[in-house]
A and B are shown apart, each in its own frame.
Chain A
């Protein structure tokens, strides 16, 4: 009897499991049918068809269908988005799309509601960015600020679009995005790109004020000082330069301890045909092949000078083919006073201390340069020159 009941129970259990599996298989088929219904032959006009059949449908399919519509504000696209939002109220993409459509239809209250809904279900970048853009377009500075801040906190890549938006709304808002080197850097680049040097100077000061001016920032700021010098803003350039190199003196890198960068107040080696240059620690060597131009600059540096006399001291060696003249001279020139030139540097000398005294008639930014000029009546120089320990001192 017990055995019979056991057999009966087992059989019943098997049938029940089979029934459960039939239901599960049926559910699988329903899912597939729902997908097929959406992919083939279901249009927004048939709204609710899968629902009518109680088929669970992937909301993502509706989003993809909406995105494939040519006209994002068309009835069809909106119907797809509404269906997607209905099926998955946590889809920020759907809420954003609906919000944008509402905004384009000038239903700003509805647009704001949709965007806020998107931000509620999605704390990532896109809803915050969308809301910041929306409030920007509405000119709502008050509401713009927190969403721009949130977008900056969640940004995953290039901050430039967000910073540009803030800058257009109110440059002061960029600082409110957060105290971040990344934000400063992006803003700085934007301002340089727009040639807003005064604003960039302010951001550069902020970058310098950071305890850890990063390796990325130093070349950026050095290049900025070059821009400022080129624009004639010597004081501003000097300020940044001093911020970068606390021990900055009148003459930069006079001992050639580091390779000239050509940026800011550092030496710039000028390329000319027939002239080769080679830097080694503490010295720089120029080789003049004789095929160099009649007149050319070898090396120069922007320099800020007071209105007084200075003495330029340096050690140099010159050797090469025997000619009377080296053709090499120092010069100091400026936009506000005429150029002064040193006598030709002595040739066939070896590590000789030399000096040149000159007078600066007016305080300001000048250029100290080492240049070559063929002496009239002489052949072009073919020589090697090595320069080291350049110093400048009041005299």
Chain B
């Protein structure tokens, strides 16, 4: 496909009929959509843009006399073609798997480059002068709307955390977007409304506090004002005055603070060194477009604790991914655009973004790059009309073209030199992530994100020692103990881990493959341990003292701090516990039986057998009853009974036992709700000083372990 496309482009000549307005708006709508969805992590909007551009290109080819007819082939077009097709050539030649990495990434990047190249070619070959005017105005108004929204959100934002700018997650890309729009506004500033828009764009750029962005916006202002001075002096003066007012209004304090930071090249310097090492390894063929993020770690010279997904220098990244020839193609494109951009005034932004690309990656964001390539296409279309003095909009277009060009070339060279110097000086830093000694390790812990181990931040995994405290962040952690127990600690939870137990201090936890010797301790002294092998359970600490235990597999026992069995949680059941004051009377419900002279009752909620003693029990033998009374910790209960309760009240629920058992499990089955014990209206049993309630809804009510395996923060954010 790439070969066919290349040949076709090479063979293309002349021009087709003007693009209809509907088609023009459709293409612009794709750009608007790509920009507005720039903040999304999902790849689908990118694919939608690419598909739209390709479909649009197909439509143009089939509906007119040829998509490529108007292309006037020069170095810029050849470079553009090479940039568009290079990735496919890499894929075609990637039989040697030793150097290519990530076919998925290569396909994505190659298709993006092809779509962007196609965008430029469409604009280059189909946009008329009138159409160009429409394109620029639409783009400008869109940029103005985006900047206004970003600025307003920024001004009312209360959070200290760095947020996005409009649809862009990064201030630098927002600034690059403004760099494209500002010269367009200045070019149109004959009308006061556009001078106002230009001033607001400049103010938004300053407010964004992107150092390179603000520098380039100021440079654009200087260059464009100088070029337009004679023709539109009053407009320029008005723009400058408005800019002063707007910048004062939005403030430049954040920018000043960032400019005075100690080392503006921190991280960028190290990333650049690694990228140069990548280039040195594969100088001619590169590692494949889009593969920087997956290749970089092998060359990393530092670790900021965050993902380095771009080189923060597009030029180096192009050379690393595509090889030096690919970077040269970009250089040819940039150099050939200098003249038409300066002459057009509105296209100066493209040069600014190429400069910005020395310290950032504006070309890697579709929301910016789709407009860059649209303007590149428009510049090429203007250049194709050159020689007939069609570029200039105003009075100064009538000046001697040769002398003007020399003057402009000198100015542009000066501007580029100044810009480079300023960038080198001010280029921004990426906006960027006690146990006793000698104890043996007891297991490992892993997390997809970060966690605190004994109050120290740890990423990925760690070795556990006796008494290690683990506190999770957004992601759950998986704990594997040497004795075989496997535990998952939910997000925003904290636990202390020992070889034979875990003390849950906050949040929720899930046990799997636990052996019967293992136990979980929660505040207020409740101990939960598996009764059977291969048992699993999820335990959640509430905001108060309540603890929810969901037995996922096997049976679990809950004990109070004195070692008295409080409940047996059978597989599939969920119980909620809340320790009570010692004076709280016990209350159990179930079938009263007599064995060896002892009255025994197995509570329907807790499944625990207790011995009861007192008046009025004989006549209730064999009935389902609710018994209240006081626990006698000094007495020795009958065999199999967990405690002895001295009865203060007996209430018959039903004659006989069978019927009661059927309706026993759900909460509140006893008919009487609420005892003031604290576990709300669901409370139906109080055993050994712990209120126990069956949770309606069973395991479904227990919910899943909280975890947000969100991707790791990127250095680019």
A24 B300 Cβ-Cβ under 8 A: no
- From A31, A124, A130, give the contact of B300 (CB < 8 A): A124
Which stretch from B64-72, B226-234, B633-641 is at the chain A interface?
Answer: B64-72
Closest to A24 in B: B54
**Measured between alpha carbons, how far is A73 from B513 in the docked complex, in Å?**
11
Closest to A154 in B: B303
- From A15, A25, A164, give the contact of B55 (CB < 8 A): A25
Chain B 89-120 residues near chain A, CB threshold 8 A: 101-104, 107-108, 111, 114-115, 118
The proximity string for A residues 46-69 relative to B, scoring 1 for CB distances below 8 Å and 0 otherwise, is 000000000011111000100110
Distance between B59 CB and nearest chain A CB, rounded to angstroms: 9
**Measured between alpha carbons, how far is A285 from B7 in the docked complex, in Å?**
92
B512 A70 Cβ-Cβ under 8 A: yes
- Say whether, besides A28-B47, A123-B297, A196 and B437 are in contact (CB < 8 Å): yes
The proximity string for B residues 442-483 relative to A, scoring 1 for CB distances below 8 Å and 0 otherwise, is 001010100001101111111101000000000100101000
**Measured between alpha carbons, how far is A100 from B461 in the docked complex, in Å?**
9
Chain A 22-56 residues near chain B, CB threshold 8 A: 22-25, 27-29, 31-32, 34-35, 56
Which stretch from B11-19, B342-350, B353-361 is at the chain A interface?
Answer: B11-19
A17 B9 Cβ-Cβ under 8 A: yes
A16 B115 Cβ-Cβ under 8 A: no
| In the assembled complex, A357 has its CB within 8 A of some CB on chain B | no
B8 A25 Cβ-Cβ under 8 A: no
Chain A 70-98 residues near chain B, CB threshold 8 A: 70-73, 87-92, 96-97
A193 B66 Cβ-Cβ under 8 A: no
- From A71, A90, A126, give the contact of B294 (CB < 8 A): A90
- From B104, B302, B444, give the contact of A57 (CB < 8 A): B104
B5 A20 Cβ-Cβ under 8 A: yes
| In the assembled complex, B441 has its CB within 8 A of some CB on chain A | yes
B101 A123 Cβ-Cβ under 8 A: no
Question: Hey, which chain B residues are within 8 Å of A9, CB to CB?
Answer: 11
A21 B54 Cβ-Cβ under 8 A: yes
**Measured between alpha carbons, how far is A17 from B64 in the docked complex, in Å?**
13
- From B457, B465, B510, give the contact of A168 (CB < 8 A): B465
Question: Hey, which chain A residues are within 8 Å of B161, CB to CB?
Answer: none
**Measured between alpha carbons, how far is A15 from B486 in the docked complex, in Å?**
62
- From B44, B103, B299, give the contact of A56 (CB < 8 A): B103
A161 B446 Cβ-Cβ under 8 A: no
**Measured between alpha carbons, how far is A97 from B12 in the docked complex, in Å?**
52
Question: Hey, which chain B residues are within 8 Å of A23, CB to CB?
Answer: 1
B107 A156 Cβ-Cβ under 8 A: no
Interface size on B, residues (CB 8 A): 81
| In the assembled complex, A304 has its CB within 8 A of some CB on chain B | no
Closest to A14 in B: B66
Distance between A366 CB and nearest chain B CB, rounded to angstroms: 33
List the count of A-B residue pairs having beta carbons below 8 Å apart. 216
| In the assembled complex, A125 has its CB within 8 A of some CB on chain B | yes
**Measured between alpha carbons, how far is A228 from B12 in the docked complex, in Å?**
85
**Measured between alpha carbons, how far is A294 from B456 in the docked complex, in Å?**
47
B458 A161 Cβ-Cβ under 8 A: yes
**Measured between alpha carbons, how far is A171 from B304 in the docked complex, in Å?**
27
Distance between A354 CB and nearest chain B CB, rounded to angstroms: 49
**Measured between alpha carbons, how far is A10 from B64 in the docked complex, in Å?**
11
The proximity string for A residues 183-198 relative to B, scoring 1 for CB distances below 8 Å and 0 otherwise, is 0000000100110100
Question: Hey, which chain B residues are within 8 Å of A210, CB to CB?
Answer: none
- Say whether, besides A27-B111, A31-B43, A14 and B461 are in contact (CB < 8 Å): no
B441 A136 Cβ-Cβ under 8 A: yes
Which of B111, B448, B460, B475 counts the most chain A CB atoms within 10 A?
B460
- Say whether, besides A70-B705, A130-B461, A168-B438, A22 and B58 are in contact (CB < 8 Å): yes
Interface size on A, residues (CB 8 A): 75
Closest to A74 in B: B512
| In the assembled complex, A203 has its CB within 8 A of some CB on chain B | no
Distance between A215 CB and nearest chain B CB, rounded to angstroms: 15
Question: Hey, which chain A residues are within 8 Å of B64, CB to CB?
Answer: 14
A155 B303 Cβ-Cβ under 8 A: yes
Chain B 486-503 residues near chain A, CB threshold 8 A: 486, 488
Question: Hey, which chain A residues are within 8 Å of B294, CB to CB?
Answer: 88, 90-91
| In the assembled complex, B192 has its CB within 8 A of some CB on chain A | no
B512 A10 Cβ-Cβ under 8 A: no
B456 A24 Cβ-Cβ under 8 A: no
| In the assembled complex, A242 has its CB within 8 A of some CB on chain B | no
Distance between A356 CB and nearest chain B CB, rounded to angstroms: 45
| In the assembled complex, A11 has its CB within 8 A of some CB on chain B | yes
**Measured between alpha carbons, how far is A194 from B51 in the docked complex, in Å?**
62
Which of B2, B58, B301 counts the most chain A CB atoms within 10 A?
B58
**Measured between alpha carbons, how far is A379 from B58 in the docked complex, in Å?**
104
- Say whether, besides A58-B43, A59-B104, A129-B460, A71 and B512 are in contact (CB < 8 Å): yes
Distance between B711 CB and nearest chain A CB, rounded to angstroms: 8
A27 B107 Cβ-Cβ under 8 A: yes
**Measured between alpha carbons, how far is A137 from B481 in the docked complex, in Å?**
12
- Say whether, besides A28-B54, A58-B104, A122-B297, A15 and B463 are in contact (CB < 8 Å): no
B43 A10 Cβ-Cβ under 8 A: no
The proximity string for A residues 149-165 relative to B, scoring 1 for CB distances below 8 Å and 0 otherwise, is 00000111110110011
A56 B107 Cβ-Cβ under 8 A: yes
B456 A161 Cβ-Cβ under 8 A: yes
The proximity string for B residues 418-433 relative to A, scoring 1 for CB distances below 8 Å and 0 otherwise, is 0000000000000001
**Measured between alpha carbons, how far is A93 from B348 in the docked complex, in Å?**
43
Distance between B560 CB and nearest chain A CB, rounded to angstroms: 29
| In the assembled complex, A348 has its CB within 8 A of some CB on chain B | no
| In the assembled complex, A167 has its CB within 8 A of some CB on chain B | yes
Distance between B533 CB and nearest chain A CB, rounded to angstroms: 17
B441 A31 Cβ-Cβ under 8 A: no
B297 A15 Cβ-Cβ under 8 A: no
Distance between A58 CB and nearest chain B CB, rounded to angstroms: 5
| In the assembled complex, B57 has its CB within 8 A of some CB on chain A | yes
| In the assembled complex, B295 has its CB within 8 A of some CB on chain A | yes
Question: Hey, which chain B residues are within 8 Å of A92, CB to CB?
Answer: 297
A21 B510 Cβ-Cβ under 8 A: no
**Measured between alpha carbons, how far is A167 from B460 in the docked complex, in Å?**
21
| In the assembled complex, B262 has its CB within 8 A of some CB on chain A | no
B4 A90 Cβ-Cβ under 8 A: no
**Measured between alpha carbons, how far is A13 from B125 in the docked complex, in Å?**
14
| In the assembled complex, A206 has its CB within 8 A of some CB on chain B | no
Which of B65, B302, B456 counts the most chain A CB atoms within 10 A?
B456
Question: Hey, which chain B residues are within 8 Å of A57, CB to CB?
Answer: 104
Question: Hey, which chain B residues are within 8 Å of A18, CB to CB?
Answer: 57-58, 61-62, 67
Question: Hey, which chain B residues are within 8 Å of A129, CB to CB?
Answer: 460-461
Distance between A82 CB and nearest chain B CB, rounded to angstroms: 17
B300 A17 Cβ-Cβ under 8 A: no
A123 B298 Cβ-Cβ under 8 A: yes
Question: Hey, which chain B residues are within 8 Å of A122, CB to CB?
Answer: 297-298, 300
| In the assembled complex, B249 has its CB within 8 A of some CB on chain A | no
B456 A158 Cβ-Cβ under 8 A: yes
Question: Hey, which chain A residues are within 8 Å of B47, CB to CB?
Answer: 28-29, 31-32
Question: Hey, which chain A residues are within 8 Å of B465, CB to CB?
Answer: 168
| In the assembled complex, A19 has its CB within 8 A of some CB on chain B | yes
Question: Hey, which chain B residues are within 8 Å of A20, CB to CB?
Answer: 1-2, 4-5, 8
Question: Hey, which chain A residues are within 8 Å of B456, CB to CB?
Answer: 158, 160-161, 164
Question: Hey, which chain B residues are within 8 Å of A202, CB to CB?
Answer: none
| In the assembled complex, A258 has its CB within 8 A of some CB on chain B | no
| In the assembled complex, A120 has its CB within 8 A of some CB on chain B | yes
- From A13, A17, A24, A193, give the contact of B115 (CB < 8 A): A24
Which of B107, B461, B486 counts the most chain A CB atoms within 10 A?
B461
A-B pairs, top 7 by smallest CB distance, nearest first, are: A14-B66, A122-B297, A18-B61, A20-B5, A25-B54, A156-B305, A67-B448
Q: Known pairs A21-B61, A90-B101. 10 more at Cβ < 8 A? A: A18-B62, A21-B5, A21-B118, A24-B54, A31-B104, A64-B709, A71-B488, A88-B101, A122-B297, A154-B303
Give A residues with C-beta under 8 Å from B. Answer: 7, 9-11, 13-25, 27-29, 31-32, 34-35, 56-60, 64, 67-68, 70-73, 87-92, 96-97, 100, 103-104, 120-126, 129-130, 133, 136-137, 154-158, 160-161, 164-165, 167-168, 171, 190, 193-194, 196
